[in-house]
Structure 1
Amino acid sequence: MKLLEVTDLHIGLTTPRGPAEAVRGISFSLERGETLGIVGESGCGKSITVMSLMGLLPGSAKVSGSIRFDGQELVGLPEKAMCGIRGNRIGMIFQEPMTALNPVHTIARQVGEPLRIHRGLTKAEARKEALALLERVGIPDAASRLDAYPHQFSGGQRQRIGIAMALACGPDLLIADEPTTALDVTIQKQILDLIQSLVAERGMALILISHDLGVIASSVRRMLVMYGGSIVESGPTEAVFAERAHPYTKGLFAARPALGAPRGQRLATIPGSVPELVDLPPGCPFAGRCRYTADACHGTRPAPSMLPHDHAVRCLRLDEIAAESEATA
């Protein structure tokens, strides 16, 4: 049995301009101990997808499809039952550690809280375990800082504390939503190395959201490329990086800064901007921004085309794109 199976997931939101479909029929799965990356521009549906796994969507959100975690259906699960999973069997590292931590509670209380709620530890036992967790994630002089508050730590240390909280109960699945946002490059690498070592050490499955293709390349075995609430390309990370079959994926790769590029050279960009959710075309979400757009792209949602190595792409014009690539090779 797979640890996580998401099938035909739709998430509808209420916006000032009316109802909008933020996630449009996505499906993916995750084995125990497997690592999965999700990439795409801001507003493509990455964060709201993982929030649905945690049961943290707005109250007005409408969810259909299936999310099965270790055989249990999460869509429609009562909040009390969801509380037994959230923070216990599914842990999450949030994007901004300063807002994820409560400014009026000590670190010992916040790291120890899931242990007291889910494991039934006493206050003293939870404090002892919190200390061990803080030491494991690399907080210096952790024993003397248990009673400190979030504002007394640096951004990198706050993110380490967030990781400690997410790991407190030994979850089966760890979700990391842009865990290195607003951190400098050196600290980013330390945090990513820490997450990878902890995932390997504890045998957890990992879902990592990132804008950074380099991070995805070095951190996960499989990946999803999302745009407009849809998965446009997916497969083993090596295969997706090698093939880059969807025009949107090609655009993301072309927009990366290149080492050794002449000074002052402009980066390639994807024309246009991500449309509002209510303005997404009924067909391919990338229609209009894509130079291969044909009339059918606006009205027909592409079915997945399977390439070698379990690599799937949703595009109506794959043959034309492949022929052009061969001609210019």
Structure 2
Amino acid sequence: MLRVDNLRITLPTRRGRAEAVRGLDIALARGETLGLIGESGCGKSLTALALMGLLPEGAQASGSIRWGGQELLGQPDAQLCRLRGNRIAMVFQEPMTALNPVHPIGRQVAEPLRLHQGLTARQARAEAIALLERVGIAQAAQRFDAYPHQFSGGQRQRITIAMALACGPDLLIADEPTTALDVTLQRQILDLITALVAERGMALILVSHDLGVIAQTVQRTLVMYGGTVVESGPTRTVFSAQAHPYTRGLFAARPRLGAARGTRLSTIAGTVPELADLPAGCPFAGRCALTIDACRAAPPPTVALGPGHAARCIRLDGNAP
């Protein structure tokens, strides 16, 4: 259904163009669920925006994004608009700003139904109310004409999910859908997304920095750093093997239940470099305790570690330099 080959995205900087996504590959079939994890700035959200044809001004993409055999990169916006909100939909990262503050929420949920499915105003209203009820908005008919500021953060996130699901898309992209929500609301939103994906047979791409969210929600995981996938595979395998040093660093930095009071969290040495300063070789070189000169010289090859499991590292033996 979705196939991404060698996706590269460059962004303008004060020091010239810099690669923010470097050679990303994705293959996703109907009903499959995929997670993208990594630190802020690793290219997760930019990848999601590229799939939607919503890259920021000045960004340039190359490679291939094919949807049902149709190439999307380079397509005019009018063509992409027929897919966005229809066959491919997205739940954006921040529920506080994802909704238009000057339009009632009901109109925003009904809009894709009228635009893509040709429903009348009355039909779209009825369908939108049903969608709002399905995602847990109480008294949806009475609140149809309410404005976003009259809802809590969790309710707004539910409304954005209703908007994304309005036309029954084949692919749902959820970019940090639980950001800024408390733990109880996080669980409710994730349960809702999981139930709707299973119910409608959609594919799901879930972008998150929360390892617990990924573990409970998706079948396969891509670990990204510096715009590159450094480890990929079935979620259980990636989480248990932690083959790449960066993957191990992410897991070591998690808070642990039962840890003694005052225990300091492990950290990954150094800071994420600027895009223009990423090394020519492994993007994690320099922050990794296993770095040797060869790590900086050339991008590491992808090493197959098991069925569907791979990592990009020349130090997978784990021996210190």
Q: Same fold per TM (> 0.5)?
A: yes
* 1:173 and 2:152 aligned: no
Aligned residue number for residue 318 of structure 1: 316
Aligned residue number for residue 134 of structure 1: 132
Aligned residue number for residue 17 of structure 2: 19
106, 116, 119: which is aligned to 1:118? 116
8 Å CA contact retained: 1:239, 1:309: no
Distance (whole Å) between structure 2 residues aligned to residue 122 and residue 17 of structure 1: 51
Deviations 1:164-192 (A, max 9, x none): 00000000000000000000110010000
- Give the Å deviation of 1:59: 3.3
Aligned residue number for residue 296 of structure 1: 294
What number of residue pairs does the alignment pair up?
320
Correspondence list, 1:37-56, <5 A: 37-56=35-54
- Give the Å deviation of 1:255: 0.4
List structure 1 segments (4+ residues) > 2 angstroms apart after TM superposition.
none
Correspondence list, 1:95-110, <5 A: 95-110=93-108
Deviations 1:270-310 (A, max 9, x none): 00111111111111000000000010111210110001121
Distance (whole Å) between structure 2 residues aligned to residue 280 and residue 155 of structure 1: 36
Distance (whole Å) between structure 2 residues aligned to residue 191 and residue 62 of structure 1: 33
- Which one-letter code corresponds to 2:130 in the other structure? A
Aligned residue number for residue 253 of structure 2: 255
Distance (whole Å) between structure 2 residues aligned to residue 178 and residue 285 of structure 1: 23
Aligned residue number for residue 73 of structure 1: 71
* 1:198 and 2:208 aligned: no
Distance (whole Å) between structure 1 residues aligned to residue 135 and residue 190 of structure 2: 12
- Which one-letter code corresponds to 2:157 in the other structure? Q
- Which one-letter code corresponds to 1:315 in the other structure? C
Aligned residue number for residue 274 of structure 2: 276
- Give the Å deviation of 1:58: 2.0
Identity of aligned residues (%): 70
Distance (whole Å) between structure 1 residues aligned to residue 105 and residue 25 of structure 2: 37
Q: SS of the residue aligned with 1:208?
A: strand
- Which one-letter code corresponds to 1:166 in the other structure? A
Distance (whole Å) between structure 2 residues aligned to residue 124 and residue 287 of structure 1: 58
- Which one-letter code corresponds to 2:44 in the other structure? K
CA RMSD, 1 decimal = 0.8
- Give the Å deviation of 1:125: 1.0
Aligned residue number for residue 327 of structure 1: none
Distance (whole Å) between structure 1 residues aligned to residue 44 and residue 139 of structure 2: 36
- Which one-letter code corresponds to 2:155 in the other structure? Q
Deviations 1:180-221 (A, max 9, x none): 000011001000000000000000000001111111111000
If the length of structure 2 is used for normalisation, what is the TM-score?
0.98
- Which one-letter code corresponds to 1:278 in the other structure? A
Point out where structure 1 has 5 or more consecutive residues left out of the alignment.
325-329
Point out where structure 2 has 5 or more consecutive residues left out of the alignment.
none
Deviates more, 1:40-49 or 1:60-69: 60-69
Q: SS of the residue aligned with 2:97?
A: helix
If the length of structure 1 is used for normalisation, what is the TM-score?
0.96
